[in-house]
Amino acid sequence: MSRNLMYSNFCHVLRKKIYSLALLLGLTFSSCNDNFLDITPIDRYSDAIVWTDEALVTAFVNNIYEGQKWGFHTVMLSSLCDESMEVWSWESQPVVQSELSPSYQGILAPNFWIMTFQNITWNSLYKNIRACNMFLENVKKYELQGEAIERLHGEVLYLRGYFYYWLLIQWGGVPLIDKTFTPEDELKVSRNTFKETVDFIVKDLDDAASLLPLSGDKARATKGAALALKSRVLLYAASDLYVSQSQWAVGYEHPELVGYVDGDQRERWENAKKAAKDVIDLGIYHLYGEGQQWATPDEAVANYVNIFLCHNSDEDIMLQYYDLVNHNSDDFQLPRVGLFNSPNGFHGWGGNTPTGQLVDSYEMSDGTKFSWSNPAQAIHPYENRDPRFYACILYDGAHWRERPDDTVDADPDGIVQTGFYQQADGSYTAGLDTRQGPIEDWNGTYTGYYMRKFLDPSVNHQYDKQLFPWRQIRYAEVLLNYAEACLELGEEEEARKYINMIRKRAGMPDIPSTETGKELMDHYRNERKIELAYEQHRYFDIRRWMIAPEVIQPAQGIDIRYPYGSQDPVYSVIEVQERKWNNKAYFLPIYLDEINKNDLLIQNPGY
């Protein structure tokens, strides 16, 4: 049964139950009973009703799924690192300038209006963890059994591990709550160590994997999803940030809260490698287009584009559809990834625009690095690049889609125009997709680029929505996780094999066999940056690798000028946004309100 049909059937069953309950209460009102005021409210169910009805138990779990981090929104996590820049100044700058404090978290604040960031705040994550604990307690209390209940049990363990994963990577060791509190409980709880938090998550995911089916509806947790998330958690936990506190948290009295203080880092890399290999060995996931021989680069471009413009493929491990996220949100919260990000000259908002640093990371089609210092490349910077460049970036001169009816006469071919054209008098006319352009000048790119990834060119994004899912986890990430762990263990040939699998699918040549050591690691990190661009990894990768001080630099863009009478533009690299790094930004501060409520909480370093 499809996810949408399953959801529709459930709603039908639920409406029938509400109707029957209302009818029963109506009969109660009509009888001659002195206790007619002593009734059950019709806007809620008692525990006994909820936890003895499979449809209502399923509804309860569906509601927990809504707490996942939805990746498509006005501001994406990519704009909080070196991948992109959001154009509205909606409180992302304090993040990229390391200006957060316990009393001010900018776009990451618990009361900030963008729902997708609210879902990963301390308060929301613990609210959803409480819902998970409530389910687990009531399954035991009401002795719920059966195949469906077992599956839901596994899903909730996965979700609890997922919510604790977001707490871990933002705050380090956190209080581990595995029950629902009552008014009689002591509500002040200390933080657990980083190690204890990792171990708790891994146990939840292992237990989930033992209960979940191997395959099924990918909008619900499966065994593969639990093992893949475990792979991510162990990869992160093995990384240098969590064994190098003395390098960045000088004088911090509780290093055990933000990393390991003992144990063997190599053993942790072995565990990360095994976790990724466990997913690979399931044998049910494959790269989209795996094994294909691309006759032209355009075929490789189309293949990568279509990874994200389908509802399900063998590469998908965990999907998230919007109507499981928040189907009651107002229009501004709807899945409008195209409206939020397509060029303003097409009546898009051009919100999360690629930085020059991301654009320049895409290699040439022969596998060599791109450089503005190379005269031949600098003259034609957008020719002969990695096919993923054309699948992910809209640049000056790129063909996009037919323009809307009110602007099509200005550009019948649908060509992105982010340059400026010199006139006979020496002045410049702004291209249709610049912030100074004639169509919309309240939004649009500062960097000279727009995001192409995820966007369906067949959709008129000004008015229509595309309903493809957000990919919480896909198989390419698992292969890269495995390759990274192999590199850290010195197993370079094995790592190169799996990196090349991804590059071959992308239409790129193998990594040179002469690359070893740091050179090979740097190449891997660039490959991960390109393959997983905009997928909520880079923000954490630059932290766990401890390269944030190097890469959080002023955001770059491109200024493009067409001299009068010439079709050959002149390119100038420019700085478009101030950015700076402070080591405290490796973790977020615990909110001042939480510290004030619970004096047992210890603040993170630097705050």
**What integer pLDDT is reported at residue 585 of this predicted model?**
98
pLDDT tens track for 306-340:
999 999 999 999 999 975 344 444 545 556 899 99
- Asked if residue 21 has pLDDT above 70, the reply is no
pLDDT of residue 336: 87
pLDDT tens digits along 424-450: 999 999 999 999 999 988 899 999 999
Q: Range with the lowest mean pLDDT among 184-188, 189-193, 199-203? A: 184-188
- Nearest alpha carbon to residue 79 among 338, 363, 447, 558: 447
Residue 38 binned pLDDT confidence (cut-offs 50, 70, 90): low
Q: Is the pLDDT of residue 160 over 90?
A: yes
Mean pLDDT of 192-207: 98
- Give the span between the Cα atoms of 534 and 512, in whole angstroms: 27
Q: Is the pLDDT of residue 161 over 70?
A: yes
Describe the strand order of the beta sheet including 420-422 as a list of residue ranges.
428-430, 420-422, 555-562, 570-577
Residue 450's region, left for phi above 0, alpha for psi from -120 to 50, else beta, is: beta
* Local confidence band at 184 (pLDDT 50, 70, 90 cut-offs): confident
Cβ partners under 8 Å of residue 19, min gap 6:
none
Q: Model confidence at 25, in pLDDT bands (50, 70, 90)?
A: very low
Q: Give the pLDDT of residue 521.
A: 98
Query: Is residue 24 scored above 80 in pLDDT?
Result: no
Q: Tell whether the model's pLDDT for residue 28 goes beyond 90.
A: no
Task: Say if CB 476 and CB 502 are below 8 A apart.
Answer: yes
The pLDDT > 70 percentage for the chain reads 90
Say whether pLDDT at 491 is over 90. Answer: yes
Single-letter residue type at 276: A
pLDDT of amino acid 323 = 59
Higher pLDDT, 299 or 244: 299
- The span from the CA of 14 to the CA of 348, in Å, is 39
**DSSP H stretches of helix in 424-562:** 475-488, 492-506, 517-531, 538-544, 548-551
CB atoms closer than 10 angstroms to residue 282: 17
- Contact status, residue 296 vs residue 455, Cβ threshold 8 Å: no
Mean pLDDT of the chain: 91
Give the pair of three-digit tokens for residue 452: 């192409």
Model's pTM, two decimal places? 0.91
pLDDT for 4: 42
Position 539 pLDDT exceeds 70: yes
Tell me how crowded residue 431 is: count the other CB atoms within 10 A of its CB: 23
Q: What is the dihedral of CA 358, 361, 365, 368, to 10 degrees?
A: 170
User: Interior CA angle at 542 toward 486 and 470, to 5°?
Assistant: 85
Q: Are 102 and 595 in contact (CB under 8 A)?
A: yes
| 97-152: pLDDT as tens digits | 999 999 999 999 998 888 778 899 999 999 999 999 999 999 999 999 999 999 99
Residue 182: per-residue pLDDT = 83
Quote the pLDDT of residue 73.
Answer: 86
**Would you say residue 33 has pLDDT above 70?**
no
Write out pLDDT tens, residues 391-412.
999 999 999 999 999 999 999 9
How many C-beta atoms lie closer than 10 Å to residue 152's C-beta? 25
At residue 9, the pLDDT reads 40
State yes or no: pLDDT of 216 exceeds 80: yes
How many helices, marked H, and strands, marked E, lie in the chain?
22, 10
pLDDT at 40: 54
